[in-house]
Structure 1
Amino acid sequence: MEEEPKKDPNEWALAYGDMITLLMTFFVLIIAMSSPKTDEEIELMKKSTGIGDNLMAAELKDSGIFKKKVKSQTKIMVDAYDLLPPIDELELIKEDLVVFMEDNELFDVIELQKTKEGFTIRIMADILFDTGDISLKLEYLYLLDKIAELLSVIPNNVRIEGHTDDRYTDNNNTGDKLSIARASRVCDYIINEEMLLSSRFGVAGYGRKRPLYPNTNDNNRALNRRVEVIIKEIPQDV
């Protein structure tokens, strides 16, 4: 019977040596891949404060992300610059309305006036209401929409007044009732259009008591029939 060859008792040492050799090779490769930092990189690290974007500046520039980020930040700055500051001067409202009136050819039916009390938007009642009626006409609702939009970006209080001509006698206060009903209708529409605070608004109706011109002809009477939106100036000490 043939004898089995005897195993070398030191055979494990060979396998162990091979493993050590592989480990040494691995660590040599790791060290070789870890190249020293360039002078430029060292200088960048010295300048870095450790906050913000400084630590990632090089990578962002190389990848193109940096340009996108700068572009995004620039857009935010431009958008912020384009936004109107909080309106504390009614002159801005006037300028906006003048452009709006020019675009829509409304100079014949609207008058803008700066007063000690504030700023008045005077609208001929005939474009808003039929004779003797209190229902708003559809043709010029876009005008009230614009006024509501402007009032939504300022905190000023507002008073809306109604006025008639002299065709209504004072026997039954017909003119007073009609004028205050029209002012109330305009007020309700503006509040509802932009969901404004009703506490900012007040209404009044003066009938024929405050004419702009003598009621001596049809043209003057048409001008006296009006609705006025009075935006009150905010006191300087508020």
Structure 2
Amino acid sequence: MAGKKKHEAPKNNWMDTYGDMVTLLLCFFVLLFSISTVNAEKWVMIVKSFNPAAAENISQLVQEDPNDQKGEHAIGQEAGGLMTDKENFDQIFWAMKEYVEQNNLEESVEVKKGKDFTFIIFRNNIFFNGDSYILRQEGKDILDVLCNSIAPVREQVGELRIMGHTNQADPNNPNPIAGDRFLSSNRAAEVLVYIETKGLIDGKKLISMGYGQHYPIASFVTEADRAKNRRVEIYIAKNDATKYTLDEVYANIEDGSQSGNEKKDESKKTQDSVTEEEV
């Protein structure tokens, strides 16, 4: 009686498994590619639909290529091209806002956004000591952050205006004109010089101005309000943007509808006496 024929296992079964693995890897990389080319504007809408709060920090998801001098995003491409210049330019605002929040600098730095511009208010103590226009190291550090946020979109910057402001120590008596003007102008110039040495922006786009005591954003009565008036402001406008005056800038940002002269009139209504202090 003949013995049973032994059943032999099929050879090269491993190739089936290998082929399946390669197919899955191909699908995986196709998926990654499709994600990398998603339109950023549509991506923001998707995120906002799930979590409106997350959309405020969407800039954390859109990282810029440090080697891209035009500020084009590594993601955010679509079939018709790249994101718009305006969306790239707004990264100055988001980068500075994120830095301020992460470092708990809200009491010293305010970052605001208007139409085609970013506006930053620096309380005086972060840049200068009292009655001084020597830039402090803390001020240099935050200006480095600002310059780094500008670098990827520097070709889109049409104007960078730096404005120095002082405080009126006595609400009833204006500061001496010469000292008031020179101090505010020198502080603005110091900030401009530091930024210009970075070589990011054409010098003809950089402007420094000293407004002295004439554009307060609070009263001259209390110490807390006087501290708000001692400040440096930086206005960064996009190419071909409207050239706003300072009054128009205040009117175009959140909580900026009240002009400095109106606030000054309010401060004169209170006749409390104050001691002489730094401006």
TM-score (norm 1): 0.61
Segments ≥4 residues shifted beyond 6 Å: 77-81
Within 5 Å, give how 1:202-221 maps onto structure 2: 202-221=207-226
Query: Which digits, 9 at most, give the CA deviation of each residue in 1:9-65, with x for residues without a partner?
Result: xxxxxxxxxxxxxxxxxxxxxxxxxxxxxxxxxxxxxxxxxxxxxxxxxxxxxxxxx
Farther off after superposition, 190-199 or 78-87: 78-87
What secondary structure sits across from 1:231 in the alignment? strand
Query: 8 Å contact 1:147–1:190 — kept in the other structure?
Result: no
What secondary structure sits across from 2:122 in the alignment? strand
Query: 8 Å contact 1:119–1:231 — kept in the other structure?
Result: yes
What secondary structure sits across from 1:146 in the alignment? helix
Task: Give the CA deviation at 1:114.
Answer: 2.4
Query: CA distance change for structure 1 residues 86 and 199 in 2, over 3 Å: closer, same or farther?
Result: farther
Alignment RMSD (CA, Å): 3.3
Q: Which is richer in helix?
A: 1
Aligned residues: 170
Query: CA distance change for structure 1 residues 117 and 96 in 2, over 3 Å: closer, same or farther?
Result: closer
Question: Of 216, 222, 229, which aligns to 2:234?
Answer: 229
What secondary structure sits across from 2:143 in the alignment? helix
Query: 8 Å contact 1:158–1:201 — kept in the other structure?
Result: yes
Q: Which amino acid aligns with 1:161?
A: M
Within 5 Å, give how 1:51-70 maps onto structure 2: none
Higher Cα Rg: structure 1 or 2?
A: 1
Determine the structure 2 residue equivalent to 1:161.
163
Question: Of 206, 210, 218, which aligns to 1:201?
Answer: 206
Unpaired segments of 5 or more residues in structure 2? Answer: 1-24, 38-64, 66-71, 77-82, 243-279
Query: 8 Å contact 1:149–1:194 — kept in the other structure?
Result: no
Q: Distance in 1 between matches of 2:212 and 2:103?
A: 29
TM-score (norm 2): 0.52
Q: Distance in 1 between matches of 2:218 and 2:241?
A: 33
Query: CA distance change for structure 1 residues 133 and 231 in 2, over 3 Å: closer, same or farther?
Result: same
What secondary structure sits across from 1:107 in the alignment? coil
Query: Which digits, 9 at most, give the CA deviation of each residue in 1:65-93, with x for residues without a partner?
Result: xx9xxx9xx7xx78786267564245322
Q: Which amino acid aligns with 1:179?
A: S
Query: CA distance change for structure 1 residues 219 and 234 in 2, over 3 Å: closer, same or farther?
Result: same
Query: 8 Å contact 2:169–2:220 — kept in the other structure?
Result: no
Q: Distance in 2 between matches of 1:103 and 1:194?
A: 27
